[in-house]
Amino acid sequence: MSDNGEKDIQVQCPTCKKEKMIKVPNYIFDNKKVGNIKIQIYKGICCEHQFILFLNKKAEIRGYETIDMNIDLSEVEESRSKDKIYLRDLLKTYGNYAVSCVIHSILLNIPIIILRTKYEGSRASEFTSLFNKFLPNTPNKKMMIVSNILEMEYQKAKIEDVLVINPTGIIINTPWKDIQLNFENNIVNEALKIIDDSTQTYIIQEAVAVLFKDAEFIKAIIDKEEILEDDIKRKIAFNFSHELSNKQLDLLKQILEHRYKSNVKRIKNRLLSKLDNGLW
């Protein structure tokens, strides 16, 4: 229980409708500016399903999202390293949804704040080292900024365009438009197929490198002209021999907007373009 108390939140599973009362620290709502607070409800907390709970700053439920992370955290063991943090340490401590948010923040080049209790020392350097290893080694590599501050410091801090995660994995602040984190979840699942911790990091790095290559290809186009989403998909398929889904394109748009500062409004939807042009 936090020093400032907790709020009781009655949650309902969106799949089976079973209800359960959970407790959420008050300070999470005290320093909330915009957007939703996101809490992963694990299997066994409410029922046999896991889902994401969305709360506003007034502690009102704004909705739920069913998730299928395909990760059994009971089978994930923490590493025995005292001076390094690995992927499985993140999963065990903060949960798979929080880890997916971390990877998403890294893709968008958005700073990360991970809160800690007064009983924990700062591990900012270890977090920073691991998160930057998720990025491909390129000449123009942008280093991630990671802070590991006390919960009590967060209450006084000015939080804006940063990802904020509390010590139990509650997502307090996400400075991006909510989209499904399929790519992030999938690469975590792929990495966990490998036993070696360092190789897990390499698997994520390679997947991110491919994604950035797609983003840079699209950036070169929209820096010069407008293009339809369908045409982007065709060009990616022709030049790189892989398909882009709508969800992957949504992710690429966010990467282009935040990491590359590109004008994503130049990417047009065919139907909306026809409506804008008065053809319908």
**pLDDT, block means (10 residues), the chain with 280 residues:** 72 94 88 78 90 91 82 61 85 94 97 94 94 90 90 78 93 91 94 92 96 97 96 97 95 97 94 58
| CB-based contact 173:165 (threshold 8 Å) | no
51 within a domain of the structure (yes/no): yes
pLDDT of residue 80: 59
The radius of gyration computed from the CA coordinates of the chain, to the nearest angstrom, equals: 20
- Please give the model's pTM, rounded to 2 decimal places: 0.88
45 within a domain of the structure (yes/no): yes
Q: Which domain holds residue 23?
A: 1-68
249 within a domain of the structure (yes/no): no
Q: Token pair of 115, please?
A: 């809160």
Beta carbons within 8 Å of 270's beta carbon, 6+ residues apart:
228, 229, 230
74 within a domain of the structure (yes/no): no
Question: Pick from 33, 157, 178: which is nearest to 108 by CA?
Answer: 178
Please say whether the dihedral angle defined by the alpha carbons of residues 89, 94, 96 and 101, taken in this order, is positive or negative: negative
CA–CA gap between residue 269 and residue 37 (Å, rounded): 30
96-108 helix and 87-94 helix, angle to the nearest 10 degrees: 120
Q: Give CA separation, 26 vs 151, 212, 240, 244, in Å.
A: 11, 38, 49, 41
209 within a domain of the structure (yes/no): no
| CB-based contact 87:102 (threshold 8 Å) | no
43 within a domain of the structure (yes/no): yes
Query: For residue 51, what is the enclosing H or E element?
Result: strand 51-55
CA–CA gap between residue 46 and residue 123 (Å, rounded): 32
48 within a domain of the structure (yes/no): yes
3 within a domain of the structure (yes/no): yes
CA–CA gap between residue 256 and residue 166 (Å, rounded): 28
| CB-based contact 197:238 (threshold 8 Å) | no
User: SS3 for 12?
Assistant: strand
Please say whether the dihedral angle defined by the alpha carbons of residues 148, 152, 156 and 160, taken in this order, is positive or negative: positive
CA angle 12, 8, 172 (to 5 degrees): 85
CA–CA gap between residue 229 and residue 92 (Å, rounded): 38
Specify the number of domains making up the chain: 1
| CB-based contact 175:109 (threshold 8 Å) | no
pLDDT of residue 160: 75
Query: For residue 132, what is the enclosing H or E element?
Result: helix 124-133
229-240 helix and 197-222 helix, angle to the nearest 10 degrees: 120
pLDDT of residue 46: 92
